[in-house]
Amino acid sequence: MKLSTFIGAGAMLTAALCSPAHAITASEQLAAYTAQAGVPAQAARGQTLFTSKHGKEWSCSSCHTATPTVEGKHASTGKAIAPMAPAFNPERFADTAKTEKWFRRNCNDVMGRECTAGEKADVLAWLLTLKR
C-alpha cells in the first residue's frame, strides 16, 4: 500500500471520529483501521481474537456468540445484543462514534486494554465475511 493511501484512510478515520454520528459503512471503517494499522487485515486472525479468551473471564463470543450472525446476550445482565455481522445487522458499524465506544469498552472487558487498529481491522474483516 502506498503512503498516500495510509494517510488518506487515516485522515478519513480521524475525520469520522471527530464528527458526531458520522454515517460510514463497515467496509469504509475496515479500510481506515487497516490503513491506520499499516498491515492488511486478516479475517482468520479476527475470528480467533473474537472467539478466544485473552487472560480475562470473557471473550467477545461470550456475549456475541461464536457465530455473530444471530442475536447474542450479555453474559452478566442477560440483555439482548443484536447480531454483530453487518450482513445480519445493517446498523452495525454504521456510526464511527458508536463503533469506537463499543470497541473501547468491550476490548477493555475482554483484554484489559483497548484494541489496536490492527485488531479492530481483523475482527471487522472476519465479520464482513459472514453473509446471508
pLDDT digits (tens, 9 = 90+) for 90-108: 999 999 999 999 999 999 9
Q: What is the pLDDT of residue 69?
A: 96
pLDDT digits (tens, 9 = 90+) for 38-70: 999 999 999 999 999 988 888 999 999 999 999
- Of 72, 68, 73, whose CA–CA distance to 127 is shortest? 68
Angle of CA points 112, 25, 21, to nearest 5°:
75
36, 122 in Cβ contact below 8 A? no
Rounded CA-CA distance 102/115 in Å is: 11
If residue 80 lies in a helix (H) or strand (E), which one and from where to where? Answer: strand 80-81
Q: What is the pLDDT of residue 75?
A: 85
Domains plus CATH for the chain? 3-129 (1.10.760.10)
Q: What is the pLDDT of residue 1?
A: 47
Rounded CA-CA distance 122/50 in Å is: 9
DSSP per-residue letters across 47-68:
HHHHHS--SSS--THHHH-SST
Rounded CA-CA distance 33/59 in Å is: 21
What is the value of pTM for the model shown?
0.82
53, 34 in Cβ contact below 8 A? no
